[in-house]
Amino acid sequence: MVCEQCPDTPADQTSELPDPANAAETETLETANQPRIAPRAISRQNYYLMNSMMRDVINHGTATRARRLGRNDLAGKTGTTNDQRDAWFNGFNRSLVAIAWVGFDSSKPLGRGEVGGRAALPAWMYFMEEALQGVEEIPLQMPPGIVTVKIDPTTGKRAQAGQSDAIFEVFRSENAPMETASNREIASPGSGNGQRNPVQELF
């Protein structure tokens, strides 16, 4: 397990940790009633950003069907190989990780349109609905150094005050956009029909 309250362990210091193969050193890290604490592999800020990105896969992306489970703590990623030969969904919350994969041993194509969000996601949902019965949702706490900013969805710049189509995005505080979208950028046509480009579905 990783200690939620422990400070981050820089990557260049992990080599100084006691060798688990050495029984004497291992004994100093744990007691009979206390589990070992694993060094943190990535910073809390990176973890929060990646988790936020994968929650958006369910809330706005290729796995929106999973919202039918009625939980706010799910995140994941759909996947599909070339020619729809393999399809999968890897999803999790803070209690459980599960992967559903669909494909043939012969590697023949599954068929047109059989992508992760269609072929594999329903099986994942069926399992998680049962497995998470009675499991409490654990909210993800935003760590220091992360900020939420209202963004113009077309330009990626800060949205103007009162902009109706603005979306909230999270950033490391040092990477948050500073420039605000101009009236000309917001009013620019999307594809010659006088409408803005829709938000591209990246996940």
Q: What are the CA-CA distances from residue 135 to residues 60, 61, 109, 140, 182 (Å)?
A: 24, 25, 37, 15, 46
Per-domain residue ranges for the chain? 44-131, 146-187
Q: Tens of pLDDT along 73-125?
A: 999 999 999 999 999 999 999 999 999 999 999 999 999 999 999 999 999 99
**pTM higher than the cut 0.85:** no
Residue 195: pLDDT over 70: no
Distance CA 41, CA 156 (A): 29
